[in-house]
Structure 1
Amino acid sequence: MELDAELSALAVQDDLPHDLVRRLLQHPSARRSAALLRRDLTDELIVEIIELGSVRTLAANSFVPAPIRARFAEHPEPAVRCAVASSVRDEPLGLLARLATDPDPSVRSFLAMNEHLPTELLACLARDSESSVRLSVIQRWRDAPDDVRRMLLTDADPGIRSGSVQAFAPPADLLPGLLADPATRAAAVAYAVPTPELAADPDSAVREAVAVHPDLPPGLRDLLAGDRDTFVRNAIAARADIPPALRERLVATIEPGSPSAEWILSFSRGTHTCPPPAPAPPNRSRQQAESLLAEAGL
């Protein structure tokens, strides 16, 4: 492990004495780790972290006392307010409502992802004038009530409509319109009956959506096995109901243009492999910690 990584790991060691934590604050990456993850930061350490310029990272630490995080909600830098908005509780009462009216849309977007946000504020953010905020609501509020879903599924912004169909099962009366909308057609296929017209759609994303449909008839499956698009054929090769011989022939026709494309294709077929996670570093004794700090000149 490189020295910077070792110092960062040491900075979050649970039983590390505060005098050693203070010395680690002089190292940028170790300071960021301590500011973000330590649960036992004293007032003195918090002040020192702020003075050293890591207030944004500190603002994201949910173990920092509520009164201090509330002060961060008034910080002039939007990035600091974003960090607070993402996880702060409503302490003092009204803090979340104040953040919901922050002039910077990025702050409101981060607030929409806050698990402590009450539904009435989520509903307000679902009507936000900025599409980025509404998109955050879609990603966060998968169990939104019907009136909110309908509003987002019929939003004027095509990106919001597309994200909504991917997040929500659309009501039956909206499905024909969503299938007719180029922005939502591919995502809406999952809720429709696969047809030859959809399987022949000029948009490859629509044909790929048909290829993964759980109720795809064998005839359309075999038709899409000869599709000109690599990702459509790959989706057919990934199906559990495909004959093994056909799968082998399909895989032989799939030629990704890059390592990243190969990873995506193999992920879809369930044949990818991920490296094992790195083992957690062992806790260091005070003597070992002192030695590492000395090596870093701290």
Structure 2
Amino acid sequence: MNLDAELSALAVQEDLPADVVWRLLQHPQARRSAALMRKDLTAASIEEVIRLGSARSLAANTHVPARVRARLAEHPEPSVRAAVAASVADEPPGLWTRLADDQDPCVRSFLAMNEHLPPELLAALAEDPEPSVRSNVVQYWRQAPEPVRRALLTDSDPNVRRSAASAYLPPADLVPVLLADPDTRAIAVRHADPSPELARDPDSGVRGAVAAHPNLPAELRAVLAADPDVFVRNTIAARPDTPSPLRERLVATLATDAPLTEWSLSFQRNPHTCPPPTPAPPRLTREQAEDLLDRAGL
């Protein structure tokens, strides 16, 4: 671990003496870590963090007093206001409404991520003129009522429609609408019955979605096994119900000279496990912390 990383790890260690925290605040990377994670920042430390230019990290720290986060919600930098908006409580009352009216769409987008928002405010954000705000409503309000889901599934922006089609179970009457929309057709396939028409769609994404359909009949599996697109054939090879002889024949057609494509194809057929998490750094004694700070010139 390099010196910067060691200082950042020390900056989030619990029960550090206040004077050690203060010295760490003079190092940019350690200061950002302390501002974001520490639960015991003093009033003086908070002011020092702001003075030194790490208000954005501080704004995202949910352990900072509410009055400080309300103050940061008025910060001139949108990124700071956005960091507050993502998790702040409505304290003082009216803070959420003020953030929902912020002129910067980034702030409103981050507000849509706030898990504490009431349904009426989320519904208002679902009608925000900025598509990125509406997309975040989709991502973070999975229990939206049907009128809101319908509006988002038929939104004027294709990115919002795609997000909504991925996130929500559409009402039955909207499935044909989503299938007729080129931007949502591939996503909507999972809600329809596989058909020869869909299995021969000009869009390989649609054919790939059909190939992954849990109710794919054997005759369409045979059609898609001969698909010209390597990813569609790979999806058939990855299906647990594909007979072994067919799988072996398909895998023989998937060879490629592109390492990234080869890895992607292989991963779909044989998912890899994630590496174990990095162990937490050892807890430093006061003497060890002092030595680290001295080495860093703090």
Matching residue of 2:117: 117
Matching residue of 1:104: 104
User: How far apart, in 2, do the equivalents of 1:56 and 1:164 lie?
Assistant: 30
- CA deviation digits over 1:24-67, x for unaligned, max 9? 11111111100101111110110111111100111011110000
User: How far apart, in 2, do the equivalents of 1:257 and 1:98 lie?
Assistant: 55
Displacement of 1:273? 3.8
Structure 2 length as normaliser, TM-score? 0.96
User: How far apart, in 1, do the equivalents of 2:36 and 2:6 lie?
Assistant: 16
Pair 178,257 (structure 1): closer, same or farther in 2 beyond 3 Å: farther
User: How far apart, in 1, do the equivalents of 2:167 and 2:256 lie?
Assistant: 29
Matching residue of 1:5: 5
Matching residue of 1:289: 289
Displacement of 1:259? 4.2
* Matched residue count: 298
Displacement of 1:256? 5.2
- CA deviation digits over 1:73-115, x for unaligned, max 9? 1111100000000010111111111111111111000000100
Of stretches 45-54 and 222-231 in structure 1, the one that deviates more from structure 2 is 222-231
Displacement of 1:258? 4.3
Q: 2:63 matched to 1:63?
A: yes
Matching residue of 2:137: 137
What one-letter code is carried by the residue in structure 2 that aligns with 1:245? P
Matching residue of 1:194: 194
- CA deviation digits over 1:199-241, x for unaligned, max 9? 1101011011101111000111122122111221221122111
Runs of 5+ unmatched residues, structure 2: none
Pair 209,74 (structure 1): closer, same or farther in 2 beyond 3 Å: same
Give the 5 Å matches for 1:10-159.
10-159=10-159
Same amino acid, percent of matched pairs: 67
Asked if 2 retains the 8 angstrom alpha-carbon contact of 1:263 and 1:272, the reply is no
Of stretches 245-254 and 150-159 in structure 1, the one that deviates more from structure 2 is 245-254
Q: Indicate the SS of the match to 2:166.
A: helix
Pair 24,258 (structure 1): closer, same or farther in 2 beyond 3 Å: farther
Q: Indicate the SS of the match to 1:254.
A: coil
Matching residue of 2:240: 240
- CA deviation digits over 1:144-187, x for unaligned, max 9? 10000111111111221121111111111111111111111101
What one-letter code is carried by the residue in structure 1 that aligns with 2:183? A
User: How far apart, in 2, do the equivalents of 1:169 and 1:255 lie?
Assistant: 37
Asked if 2 retains the 8 angstrom alpha-carbon contact of 1:238 and 1:268, the reply is yes
- CA deviation digits over 1:105-136, x for unaligned, max 9? 11000000100111110000000111111001
User: How far apart, in 2, do the equivalents of 1:190 and 1:214 lie?
Assistant: 8
Asked if 2 retains the 8 angstrom alpha-carbon contact of 1:230 and 1:255, the reply is no
